[in-house]
Amino acid sequence: MTSIRVIQKSDFEEWSVLWAGYLRFYESDIPEEVTTATFGRLVDDRDLHGALAVDAEGRAIGLVHWLSHPATWSTGEYCYLEDLFVSADARGAGAGRALIAHVREWAERSGCEKVYWLTPEGNATARTLYDRVATHTGYVHYQISI
């Protein structure tokens, strides 16, 4: 049985392992001070929010991070699901779906108009889940790094 709970200060070790796996999956490397600051902001729970999926033994098997922001196409806010990761050995058992549902419920309670996220086109495994729980909008992502 998977349960979802808010990230707490005592979760740093388990969260760090999942965070490192997430960064490896996306072939990314960020400075340690960014990781430390990100975790602090998640625990603070003001501008960034986070939750862990925990298995029946109490082991953290997945993470999700999100934020809300004003939108020009709505009087309400949008909820951006920024990071979602489930450890390879726990995939397929519903943790990803439960983490997305947790964010959706938070967004609904918070008065957000929608929840949205990005994923690479080639992330076929995750997209199978996403196609079941959300609508693919057809948008293409662009960015300018500064």
Average pLDDT across the chain, whole number: 95
Burial class for 60, CB neighbours closer than 10 Å (0-12, 13-18, 19+)? buried
Instruction: State pLDDT tens for residues 86-118.
Output: 999 999 899 999 999 999 999 999 999 999 999
pTM: 0.94
Q: How far apart are CA 104 and CA 85, in angstroms?
A: 16
Q: How far apart are CA 83 and CA 117, in angstroms?
A: 8
| Nearest Cα to Cα of residue 99 among 71, 60, 135 | 60
Residue 82, token pair as written in the block:
């920024």
Helix/strand/coil (H, E, C) string of 15-76?
A: HHHHHHHHHHHCCCCCCHHHHHHHHHHHHHCCCCEEEEEECCCCCEEEEEEEEEEECCCCCC
Instruction: State pLDDT tens for residues 109-146.
Output: 999 999 999 999 889 899 999 999 999 999 888 889 89
- Work out the average pLDDT over 31-46: 97
% of the chain surpassing 90 pLDDT? 90
* HSE-up of residue 17 (Cα within 13 Å, Cβ side): 11
